[in-house]
Amino acid sequence: MGTFCSVIKFENLQELKRLCHWGPIIALGVIAVCSTVAMIDSVLWYWPLHTTGGSVNFIMLINWTVMILYNYFNAMFVGPGFVPLRWKPEISQDTMYLQYCKVCQAYKAPRSHHCRKCNRCVMKMDHHCPWINNCCGYQNHASFTLFLLLAPLGCIHAAFIFVMTMYTQLYNRLSFGWNTVKIDMSAARRDPLPVVPFGLAAFATTLFALGLALGTTIAVGMLFFIQMKIILRNKTSIESWIEEKAKDRIQYYQLDEVFVFPYDMGSRWRNFKQVFTWSGVPEGDGLEWPVREGCHPYSLTIEQLKQKADKRVRSVRYKVIEDYSGACCPLNKGIKTFFTSPCTEEPRIRLQKGEFILATRGLRYWLYGDKILDDSFIEGLLVE
C-alpha cells in the first residue's frame, strides 16, 4: 500500500477532473459502445470462441481497445509539458528575442505558446484538444497521434464485425416466397442456438454502433492525416499559421527576404524521429530545439515579434451588418457555416448590427478577431 500511495499523488488525482468534460465523456462513450458491442457480437452471434478464428478475432478486439485507451489516457494525463514558471533563457541577451508571459511570469520558450484553457505556457503547442481536455504538445504529441491512428483501425475492425453479424443473423432469418421476402427476428436457424437471441434490440444496437464506428473512422482518420502531414514537416498547427502569415507579410510589403521554416530538418525521417522514439520520450527538453543550417535559433520567435508589431496595422476592421447570437453552430447562418464551424473551444462573440470587429485571421465562413468595445478588445471567434 505504501508503494501504491507513493505513485498516486494528490496532484495526479487532481488530473482526474479532466474526465469531467464533454469531450472525454463523448470520446470514451464512443470507445465503450463500439468495443462492447463488437465483443458481444463476436462472442454470441458471429464467431464463437471455440474456433481459432473466433479466438483470434476476440483477442484482436481486446488489443485494439487496450492500445486505444492507453494512448488516449497518455495524451490526456501525461500532458504536453509546460514551460516552468518564471523560466528565462540561460543567456540573458536571448530575452530580446522572446515574448514575455505575464500570467506565467516567464519568457515563452521557442515553439511554446500560452493556452488560455490550461492557463500555462505549453511547450511546442499544437492545439488545445477538447476531446482529451488538454493541450497537444511536446510530451504527448506521439501518444495523441497514435490514438488518432489506432482509433480508426479499431473502428474498421469493429465495423466489419457489425456488418458480418447483421448479415449472418438476417440471412438465418430470411424466408423467400413467390413474391415476398420475409425476415423473422424471433428465431434463427442456427445450431447451436446462441444463449442470447439476436432480436430487434440487438439489431438496432449493432446498427447504431456501426454508424458510430464509420463516423469515427472518417473523422478521426482525417485528423490523423493532418497530424502526420505537419509531423513530417516538423511543424505544429500554430507554426503552420505563423509561416503562412510570414509569407503573406513579405508579399504585402514586397520585402526582399525569404522566410525559411527553421525546424524542418530537411528529412522526413529526421522530423519523424523528433516525435516518435522507441523509448516513448520525444527528443530534446522542449525548451531548446535544433534548427536547420543557416537559420537563427530564434528565427521563428523573431517572426512572431514582427507579426505582433504588425498586428494592428494588418488587422481588418469590419462593421457588423447582421446580428449573431454567439452560438457554436448557428443554424440560421446557412448550411455551410453550420458544418464548417471550427472544432475549438474558443469563445464565440455575440454581435449586434452596427458594432465593429477587428479580424486578425479567418477561415472561409469564420473569422478570428476582437470585438471593439469602448476602445477595448474582446478576443474570440466570429461568424462571417
Render pLDDT for 43-77 as a digit per residue (tens, 0 to 9).
877 766 677 888 888 999 999 999 999 999 999 99
pTM of this prediction exceeds 0.95: no
Query: What local confidence, expressed as pLDDT, does residue 364 receive?
Result: 73
CA distances from 293 to 176, 261, 289, 290 (A): 74, 11, 13, 9
Q: What is the mean pLDDT of residues 10-28?
A: 82
Assigned C-alpha cell, 190: 442456427
Do 132 and 151 touch, CB atoms closer than 8 A?
A: no
**Which among 218, 246, 375 is positioned nearest to 310, based on CA atoms?**
246
Cα 327 from chain centre: 21
Tens digit of each residue's pLDDT (9 = 90 or more) over 296-320: 899 999 988 888 777 655 567 788 8
Tens digit of each residue's pLDDT (9 = 90 or more) over 176-202: 444 554 544 444 445 555 666 778 888
* Residue written as grid cell 482518420: 221
Give me the percent of the chain exceeding a pLDDT of 70: 83
- The DSSP letter of residue 284 is S
**CA geometry: angle at 329 spanning 323 and 330, to 5°?**
30
Is 129 designated active site?
yes
- Give 380's strand partners: 369
Residues 31/33/38/41 CA torsion (nearest 10 deg): 170
Query: What local confidence, expressed as pLDDT, does residue 275 receive?
Result: 94
Tens digit of each residue's pLDDT (9 = 90 or more) over 333-370: 888 887 777 777 777 888 888 888 877 766 678 887 78
Looking at the predicted structure, is the pLDDT value of residue 80 above 70? yes
* Distance (Å, whole) CA 82 – CA 84: 6
Looking at the predicted structure, is the pLDDT value of residue 327 above 60? yes
Query: What local confidence, expressed as pLDDT, does residue 176 receive?
Result: 46
Residues 320/324/327/330 CA torsion (nearest 10 deg): -100
* Distance (Å, whole) CA 322 – CA 384: 10
Residues 6+ apart with CB under 8 A from 36: none
Looking at the predicted structure, is the pLDDT value of residue 9 above 50? no
The 3-state DSSP class for residue 171 equals: helix
**Which among 145, 331, 334 is positioned nearest to 231, based on CA atoms?**
145
Q: What is the mean pLDDT of residues 68-95?
A: 94
Tens digit of each residue's pLDDT (9 = 90 or more) over 27-44: 999 999 999 999 998 887
Looking at the predicted structure, is the pLDDT value of residue 259 above 70? yes
* Catalytically annotated residue among 129, 135, 136, 155: 129
Q: What integer best gives the mean pLDDT of the chain?
A: 84
Query: What local confidence, expressed as pLDDT, does residue 195 receive?
Result: 60
* Residue written as grid cell 520567435: 301
Looking at the predicted structure, is the pLDDT value of residue 84 above 50? yes
Query: What local confidence, expressed as pLDDT, does residue 204 receive?
Result: 93
**Which among 10, 142, 152, 129 is positioned nearest to 74, based on CA atoms?**
142
